[in-house]
Amino acid sequence: MIFIETLRKGRISLKKKWLAILALILFPLAAIGIFFTNKMMYIRKLTDEELIKRESDEGHYHHEEFQQLQKEKVCIPSAFGYDLHGYFVPLPHTTRTIVLCHGVTVSLINSVKYMKLFQKLGWNVLLYDHRRHGMSGGKTTSYGYYEKEDLAQVVKWLRKKLGEKAIIGIHGESMGAVTTLLYAAKPDANANFYIADCPFASFEDQLLYRLKTDFRLSGQWILPLSDQVLKWRDGYSIRQVSPLDVIDQVKEPILFIHSLHDDYIPCEQSEQLYARKKGDKRLFIAPHGAHAMSYSDNKEVYEQEVEAFLEAFQFNQNERGE
């Protein structure tokens, strides 16, 4: 009996040792996964003050001018239980409308420069804040995965307001461009054209690139670990955010834009997307500017490329948008 009791205690002790070893292995792995998914889900956003100063210094935004602009406040329910806030800026005698999707860390203030571009071309503009940005609700940033569903609600709202015959386009910058392309590939997408400025082709490849650049890490084991934690915490996989995997499903025309010297999302990503896109498409590689600076540093030629794209596919003709 003494022998059996000793053996039993030995087994319990051994089991505790293995559990302790397992905990020592899993705890740091979990901590690493949580650290990197926090970086993704809760990426630091610019404050309104920081963004207004940046856009004002670059001559893109004048606060008083925007406050006095004739516009309609928009509040669109998301399918995920929060509200999307923005503005509908109308022009008389047209239903042609462009939706502006900003990038990560900023808000619709960043879209005002593009609003001015399209207003000059005679378009209504709808600019709104993505989830977890600006005035909109939502707890996490998902780099297009949930944002594409929010964009679907925005387009539905516009169709209800303007009718099925209205010409609706979507312009996205950076994460907004990824959101635009992921939405465009949905079977029920209901816009007429898309402009994607500096998107990544694959979230996985972009994260591998940033891990190498920012942390000098290969990402071979960090990314699979973070992916499992991301699925648990936010309900989707990194590989589900890949415009490259779905771009061949987009039937409508796309204008791809990227700066040649973008070192945050290399311009090769847009070149990959352009190569795989079937049907109507155009590609503009801006000669100057860093990431998301193609318009700021190539303003005149950027406007020319956008106008040429709209003219090429007859989206800028008044009768189509009336």
Q: Following DSSP, what letter does each residue of 13-58 receive, concatenated?
A: HHHHHHHHHHHHHHHHHHHHHHHHHHHHHTPPPPPHHHHHHHHHHT
Task: Say what the pLDDT of residue 21 is.
Answer: 61
Which tokens is 160 given?
A: 């209800």
Task: Say what the pLDDT of residue 97 is.
Answer: 98
Which tokens is 131 given?
A: 């989830």
Residue 294 maps to a domain: yes
The residue range of the domain holding 63 is: 46-202+241-321
Residue 145 maps to a domain: yes
What are the pLDDT tens digits along the chain (322 aa)?
A: 554 454 455 555 666 665 556 555 555 767 888 999 999 999 999 999 999 999 999 999 999 999 999 999 999 999 999 999 999 999 999 999 999 999 999 999 999 999 999 999 999 999 999 999 999 999 999 999 999 999 999 999 999 999 999 999 999 999 999 999 999 999 999 999 999 999 999 999 999 999 999 888 887 888 999 999 999 999 999 999 999 999 999 999 999 999 999 999 999 999 999 999 999 999 999 999 999 999 999 999 999 999 999 999 999 875 444 5
Task: Say what the pLDDT of residue 237 is.
Answer: 98
All residues at 6 or more sequence positions from 88 whose CB lies less than 8 Å from its CB, including other chains: 71, 72, 74, 124, 125, 126, 161
Residue 19 maps to a domain: no
Distance CA 142, CA 153 (A): 17
Residue 30 maps to a domain: no
pTM attached to this predicted model? 0.92
* Structural domain count, the chain: 1
Task: Say what the pLDDT of residue 319 is.
Answer: 47
Distance CA 183, CA 148 (A): 5
Q: Taking the CA atoms of the chain, what radius of gyration do you get in angstroms?
A: 23
**3-state DSSP percent of the chain in helix, strand and coil, to 5:** 50, 15, 35
Count other C-beta atoms under 10 Å from residue 214's C-beta: 9
- How far, rounded to the nearest angstrom, does the alpha carbon of residue 75 sit from its chain's CA centroid? 20
> What are the helix (H) ranges across 196-267?
203-215, 222-234, 243-246
Residue 40 maps to a domain: no
Contact of 296 with 289, CB cutoff 8 Å = yes
**CATH of residue 112:** 3.40.50.1820
Residue 130 maps to a domain: yes
Q: For 127, which DSSP code? A: E
Residue 140 maps to a domain: yes
Neighbour-count burial of 11, counting CB atoms closer than 10 A to its CB (0-12 exposed, 13-18 middle, 19+ buried): exposed
Residue 71 maps to a domain: yes
